[in-house]
């Protein structure tokens, strides 16, 4: 069926309410239109059908959707994520597929001057036919495609057909034509039956679809974003860009830049209003010419409210409505924006050059994670899944997410949520870990893609910067003969020159020029990681082994280098954009993709759901260093999550302790695209791993962090607050039965937006003869009776601790919609893990140390119905003393 509405442009998620008609009678009178009509839009929701091209019966389809998910819904294939089904479904991407629907067009619709089909996303090689006439050829998943079909439309039924050519077959043709194989990593060509033929770099499609070291290989095809039919007369607004010209506490001066497509020459009026702030308005009379017109309307906001990142203030947003009245036409569009200044500061200092974000004049330590697409099949990502991810980031005190370059330019709704919640975005263009061709057609396609997405996203205040690619500079290192990942050495000098010329054209040329032309107030950085770029073609590559540090760093000495977690305290750059460690998801998630016979980390199924080349054995190796490796499978999953969380806790807190030298800490990664063992802190089903709970404490506005350096205990305090606070730091050495052996208390002023070493002393002095296997150091930062932060430091590895067997007293109280779970124990309960087999839900804390004689209350919000009695009876407890 078709959904028909007046065309009303609201926030990009289309979740707002429709505005009224243009209240500009005087302005309309000045233009003297014969007839005014807003453009009409019909979303083509179906019914749609699909089939393998030219063969078989037509089956019901969903648009937006993919071939894989439509086959699944039709019962033609099994769940792609279950066990090793991925291997049996690789035939799908070798075939061509077609979709069709019928447009019933009446005379009133056909009477419009223009009748356009608008595809928000076609994946990827698509030929669009109306009544068997080719009306559009598409070859880029990331572009919006529009074609006028008026000349080919007729009254009544019109058949719309979309032929989707195999991205694999098209990629193989392009590879053969190119003449040699460009370098690539983590493309699962073998799983796809292609041997060593890497093809992802030739197609403007999500790179992760070809496989990654955390994701499967599902090279999808489909109409993956919505399709609309747009009818309009004379003129319409094609873009509205809100430019912030100046910002002071008294006034914000802005310009609304309209782009208007017109068929005729003639007078028109454009105006700007802010419905929630009636004093904010402006208008101007213009004369349209046939073609594309640009018009500017200046306006002022008095006493502007600023947009702040999470934790520093309100992320205030202004809704700006732009309106056009012209002969025989009117149009309106809304652009939502936030007022803020944002700079990426690179300032020379004694240690190199800084790399930090300054928001509204305030240096802000960036706390966050890397974001990948939420599903291998993108149309399955619902608004609720985006909301859960962004809310999780907010609840964990994050203020930034990096939209990584191997995924997609995300859905508008994702950026809307980040705008509303103060989550900044490190936005990468979609290029990662391969060298790209430099043919004219490819470069033209890249330019159109970049322009389209920069213009789509530039009104979002959450966009902090644009980055050209992920890890290609560090992989190639053109000026270092033996540098990089060993790629260059495999090619002849002419081939190297060809690949490097293409790299420069894309990342120093096209993308930089696009940002400069269409979003000039934002910072552009050609690759991550990178130490320096002169704005032309000279760079310094990221290298943590140099004394003078600058730019951003990806640190993988932990995991790939198998260095201990303590190395996180040594290898610290100015801005840490990647670091991480893996874990398995919890047992309930394993059950969703594996059978009981698969419950072994070295089973074929669990190895299939592990895409790192060093994978499950590395988790086990690290675990054996600090923990007793459990024989029980569920206990192994639990200890593995704590292992990951403790390791990344070390990194997060080391980075913050080194501010202002280091001003960013983004772990890899917050989410998953399928159920898998990976670096994620939230699994595919949205379940928080231990690491996400630990991040909430490590990224809290106030932090106290402690560690042992040789024979010395060090305690550092950190504050993100913008005011000084008088506090008391209390150190308690207590044994696992709750006896306090020593207390040290010292008051001091916790300086705003800073880190400071608060205590340094010999471990032996703190222990004062107590057994290091049986005591811990509890560090508490308090403002009077208000505890701001706590930390626990153990003097031995967990496997060497004399952990007591604990009995936990549990009490459950129904609070109406959620439950309060009271927990207490006479002895230490290390890393207490709460779970329920039959009920999903969210625990406010988990995997925590329950201290002796110090009760704790955890809140639980169930996803379904459960009673307090059932919750208490079914609650499962696991802790380190059990994990043997």
DSSP string, 732-750: EEEETTS-EEEEEEEEEEE
Provide the token pair at 859.
């809140």
Radius of gyration from C-alpha coordinates of the chain: 29
Give 878's Cβ-side CA count (13 Å radius). Answer: 24
Contacts of 3 by beta carbon, 8 Å cutoff, 6+ apart: 42, 43, 45
Q: Using an 8 Å Cβ cutoff, are 773 and 801 in contact?
A: yes
CA distance 532 to 158: 56
CA distance 856 to 860: 13
Torsion, CA 652, CA 654, CA 656, CA 658, rounded to 10: -150
What SS3 class is residue 97? strand
Q: At what angle do helices 383-395 and 412-421 cross, to 10 degrees?
A: 30
- The kind and range of the H/E element at 644 are helix 633-657
DSSP string, 417-430: HHHHHT-EEEEEPS
Q: Provide φ and ψ at 143, rounded to 5°.
A: -100, 155
What SS3 class is residue 668? coil
The DSSP symbol for 505 reads: I
Q: Is 498 left (phi over 0), alpha (psi -120 to 50) or beta?
A: alpha
Task: Tell me the pairing of strands 48-52 and 281-288.
Answer: unpaired
Q: Using an 8 Å Cβ cutoff, are 87 and 604 in contact?
A: no
Tell me how crowded residue 9 is: count the other CB atoms within 10 A of its CB.
Answer: 19
Q: Using an 8 Å Cβ cutoff, are 713 and 759 in contact?
A: yes
The 281-288 sheet, strands edge to edge: 281-288, 266-273, 318-326, 329-337
First and final C-alpha spacing in the chain: 59
Task: Tell me the pairing of strands 356-359 and 352-353.
Answer: unpaired
The DSSP symbol for 507 reads: I
Q: Using an 8 Å Cβ cutoff, are 411 and 417 in contact?
A: no
Tell me how crowded residue 359 is: count the other CB atoms within 10 A of its CB.
Answer: 22
CA distance 339 to 360: 9
What SS3 class is residue 99? strand
Q: Using an 8 Å Cβ cutoff, are 326 and 286 in contact?
A: no
Provide the token pair at 378.
């993108």
Selection from 630, 733, 693, 739 nearest residue 842 by Cα:
693
Active site residue 471: yes
| Residues facing residue 227 across a β-bridge | 119
Q: Using an 8 Å Cβ cutoff, are 471 and 487 in contact?
A: no
DSSP string, 792-827: EEESS-GGGS-PPP---EEEEEE-SSSEEEEEE-SS
Beta strands in 7-79 (DSSP E): 40-44, 48-52, 59-61
Which is the catalytic residue, given 471, 586, 646, 653? 471
- The kind and range of the H/E element at 70 are helix 67-73
Q: Using an 8 Å Cβ cutoff, are 324 and 427 in contact?
A: no
CA distance 81 to 71: 14
Q: Which residues are catalytic?
A: 471
């Amino acid at each position: 069926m078709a959904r028909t509405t007046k065309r009303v442009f609201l926030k990009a998620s289309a979740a707002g309410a429709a505005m009224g008609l243009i209240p500009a009678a005087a302005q309309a009178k000045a233009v003297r239109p014969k007839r005014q009509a807003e453009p009409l839009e019909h979303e083509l929701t179906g019914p749609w059908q699909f089939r393998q091209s030219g063969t078989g019966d037509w089956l019901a389809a969903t648009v937006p959707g993919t071939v894989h998910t439509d086959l699944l819904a039709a019962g033609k294939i099994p769940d792609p994520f279950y066990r090793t089904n991925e291997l049996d479904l690789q035939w799908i991407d070798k075939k061509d597929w077609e979709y069709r629907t019928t447009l019933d067009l009446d005379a009133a619709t056909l009477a419009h001057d223009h009748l356009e089909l608008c595809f928000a996303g076609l994946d990827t090689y698509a030929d669009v036919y109306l009544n068997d006439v080719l009306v559009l050829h598409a070859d880029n998943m990331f572009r919006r495609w529009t074609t006028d079909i008026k000349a080919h439309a007729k009254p009544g039924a019109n058949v719309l057909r979309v032929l989707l050519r195999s991205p694999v077959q098209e990629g193989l043709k392009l590879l053969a034509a190119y003449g040699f194989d460009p370098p690539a990593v983590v493309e699962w060509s073998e799983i796809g039956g292609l041997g060593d033929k890497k093809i992802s770099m030739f197609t403007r499609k999500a790179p992760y679809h070809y496989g990654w070291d955390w994701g499967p290989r599902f090279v999808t095809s489909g109409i993956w974003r919505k399709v609309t039919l747009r009818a309009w007369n004379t003129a319409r607004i094609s873009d509205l860009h809100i430019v912030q010209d100046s910002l002071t506490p008294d006034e914000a001066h802005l310009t609304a830049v309209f782009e208007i497509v017109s068929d005729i020459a003639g007078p028109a009026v454009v105006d700007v209003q802010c419905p929630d702030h009636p004093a904010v308005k402006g208008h101007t009379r213009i004369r349209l010419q046939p073609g594309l017109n640009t018009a500017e309307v200046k306006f002022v906001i008095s006493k502007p409210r600023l947009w702040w990142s999470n934790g520093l203030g309100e992320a205030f947003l202004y809704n700006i409505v732009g309106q056009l009245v012209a002969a025989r036409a009117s149009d309106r569009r809304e652009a939502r924006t936030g007022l803020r200044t944002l700079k990426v500061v690179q300032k020379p200092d004694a240690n190199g050059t800084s790399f930090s974000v300054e928001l509204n004049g305030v240096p802000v330590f960036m706390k966050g994670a890397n974001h990948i697409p939420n599903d291998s099949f993108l149309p399955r990502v619902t608004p609720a899944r985006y909301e859960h991810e962004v809310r999780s980031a907010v609840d964990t005190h994050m203020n930034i997410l990096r939209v990584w370059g191997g995924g997609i330019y995300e859905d508008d709704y994702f950026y809307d949520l980040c705008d509303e919640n103060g989550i900044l975005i490190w936005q990468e263009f979609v290029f990662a870990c391969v060298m790209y061709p430099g043919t004219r057609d490819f470069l033209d396609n890249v330019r159109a893609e970049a322009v389209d997405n920069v213009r789509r996203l530039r009104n979002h205040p959450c966009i902090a910067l644009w980055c050209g690619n992920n890890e290609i500079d560090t992989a190639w290192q053109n000026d270092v003969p033996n540098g990089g990942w060993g790629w260059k050495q495999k090619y002849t000098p002419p081939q190297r020159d060809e690949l490097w010329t293409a790299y420069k054209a894309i990342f120093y040329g096209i993308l930089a020029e696009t940002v400069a032309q269409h979003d000039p107030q934002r910072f552009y950085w050609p690759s991550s990681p990178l130490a320096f770029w002169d704005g032309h073609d000279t760079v310094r590559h990221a290298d943590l082994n140099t004394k003078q540090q600058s730019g951003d760093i990806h640190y993988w000495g932990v995991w790939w280098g198998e260095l201990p977690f303590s190395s996180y305290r040594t290898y610290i750059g100015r801005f840490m954009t990647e670091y991480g460690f893996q874990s398995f998801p919890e047992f309930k998630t394993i059950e969703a993709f594996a059978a009981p016979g698969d419950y072994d980390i070295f089973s074929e199924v669990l190895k299939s759901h592990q895409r790192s080349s060093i994978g499950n054995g590395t988790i086990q190796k690290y675990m054996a260093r600090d923990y007793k490796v459990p024989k029980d499978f569920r206990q192994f999953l639990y200890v593995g999550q704590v292992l990951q969380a403790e390791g990344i806790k070390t990194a997060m807190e080391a980075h913050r302790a080194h501010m202002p030298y280091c001003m960013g800490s983004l772990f890899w990664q917050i989410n998953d695209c399928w159920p898998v063992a990976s670096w994620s802190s939230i699994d595919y089903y949205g379940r928080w791993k231990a690491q996400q709970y630990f991040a909430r404490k490590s990224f809290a506005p106030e932090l106290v962090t402690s560690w042992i350096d040789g024979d010395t205990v060090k305690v550092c305090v950190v504050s993100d607050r913008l005011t000084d606070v008088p506090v008391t730091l209390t150190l308690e050495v207590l044994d696992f039965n709750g006896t306090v052996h020593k207390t040290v208390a010292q008051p001091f002023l916790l300086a705003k937006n800073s880190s400071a070493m608060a205590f340094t002393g010999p471990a032996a002095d703190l222990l004062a003869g107590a057994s290091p296997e049986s005591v811990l150091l509890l560090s508490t930062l308090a403002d009077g009776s208000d505890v701001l932060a706590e930390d626990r430091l153990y003097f031995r590895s967990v496997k060497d601790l004399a952990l007591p067997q604990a009995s936990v007293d549990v009490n459950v109280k129904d609070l109406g919609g959620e439950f309060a779970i009271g927990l207490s124990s006479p002895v230490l309960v290390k890393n207490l893990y709460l779970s329920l087999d039959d009920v999903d839900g969210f625990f406010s804390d988990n995997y925590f140390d329950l201290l002796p004689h110090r009760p704790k209350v955890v809140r639980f919000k169930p996803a379904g119905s459960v009673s307090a009695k059932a919750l208490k009876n079914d609650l499962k407890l696991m802790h380190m003393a059990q994990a043997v």
